[in-house]
């Protein structure tokens, strides 16, 4: 238990330290305006901070999904399923993953926001045209809060999806990097899909946003791709990944019901 807790602390600390590094680097570039909300949201823009995004995906995969996967990998799930059945087992694991995702995600946000407030203070302006991130609301603080809420829901959806496909992956070392691997897979698919629909409907920011909704970043960094259509970007991605999760887990339960010994 102590070893597990130390590992969790180290993973959260890793995300925190890497986040601080990129925030400090952003400031050192000599930006014109360093409003608190823009400064903080910059960190969560995967287009600009892909290294932070990669560290975040790997760390949160380990924090939120691995314990549930290990129950299947070690066949411990069979003892639980014997008592409560397949549906309740997977629903319980989804609940655990959801709680872990929210808890760890809010912890990271709390410490990063606290660091930024201590380090840079809360600088803002009444001139909304000076702000770069108007994705969800014209009020910078409300915009930040909405981003955190939606991205936390997106993280839950992503982690539950990754856990669902874990039933098809028998190598625990391979599964550790499933979130990262799927990020690149979704990136390639989104590029192809976006190219196709742009040729059909024209190249507009709206069509590009729809085309990129297959990317996992649309769940955890909604609207960041083009700094607009945040709600639409998140909604499409959420529908896609929730639907895929339901389909995959239905197949898994049906298969295991038939072939589990």
Which tokens hold the place of 226?
A: 């083009």
Count of domains for the chain: 1
User: For residue 162, what pLDDT band results from cuts at 50, 70 and 90?
Assistant: very high
User: For residue 98, what pLDDT band results from cuts at 50, 70 and 90?
Assistant: very high
Domain that holds residue 238: 2-259
Distance of CA 182 to the CA centre of its chain: 12
Q: Which of 240, 244, 196 is nearest to 217 (CA)?
A: 240
pLDDT for 11-48, tens place per residue?
A: 999 999 999 998 888 877 755 456 788 888 888 988 78
Q: What is the pTM of this model?
A: 0.92
Predicted local confidence at residue 137, as pLDDT? 85
Residue identified by tokens 């959260």 is 12
User: For residue 90, what pLDDT band results from cuts at 50, 70 and 90?
Assistant: very high
Residue identified by tokens 């691995």 is 66
Predicted local confidence at residue 37, as pLDDT? 84
Predicted local confidence at residue 130, as pLDDT? 64
pLDDT for 78-87, tens place per residue?
A: 888 888 988 9
Long-range contacts of 178-185 (CB under 8 A, 24+ apart): 178/61, 179/57, 179/58, 179/60, 179/61, 179/65, 179/216, 180/54, 180/57, 180/58, 180/61, 182/216, 183/53, 183/54, 183/57, 183/215, 183/216, 183/217
pLDDT for 188-197, tens place per residue?
A: 998 888 888 8
């Amino acid at each position: 238990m102590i070893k597990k807790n130390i590992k969790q602390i180290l993973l959260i600390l890793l995300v925190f330290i890497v986040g601080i590094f990129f925030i400090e680097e952003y400031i050192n570039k000599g930006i014109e305006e360093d409003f608190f909300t823009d400064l903080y949201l910059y960190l969560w823009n995967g287009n600009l901070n892909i290294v932070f995004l990669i560290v975040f995906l790997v760390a949160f995969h380990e924090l939120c999904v691995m314990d549930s996967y290990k129950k299947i990998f070690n066949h411990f799930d069979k003892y639980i399923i014997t008592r409560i059945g397949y549906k309740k087992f997977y629903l319980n694991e989804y609940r655990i993953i959801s709680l872990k995702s929210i808890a760890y995600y809010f912890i990271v946000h709390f410490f990063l926001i606290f660091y930024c407030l201590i380090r840079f203070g809360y600088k803002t302006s009444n001139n909304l045209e000076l702000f770069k991130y108007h994705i969800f609301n014209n009020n910078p603080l409300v915009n930040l809060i909405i981003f955190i809420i939606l991205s936390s829901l997106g993280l839950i959806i992503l982690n539950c999806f990754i856990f669902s496909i874990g039933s098809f992956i028998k190598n625990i070392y391979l599964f550790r990097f499933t979130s990262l691997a799927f990020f690149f897979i979704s990136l390639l698919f989104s590029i192809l899909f976006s190219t196709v629909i742009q040729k059909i409907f024209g190249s507009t920011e709206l069509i590009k946003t729809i085309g990129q909704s297959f990317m996992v970043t649309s769940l955890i960094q909604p609207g960041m791709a083009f700094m607009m259509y945040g709600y639409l970007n998140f909604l499409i991605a959420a529908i896609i990944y929730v639907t895929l999760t339901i389909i995959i887990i239905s197949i898994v339960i049906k298969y295991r019901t038939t072939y589990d010994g």
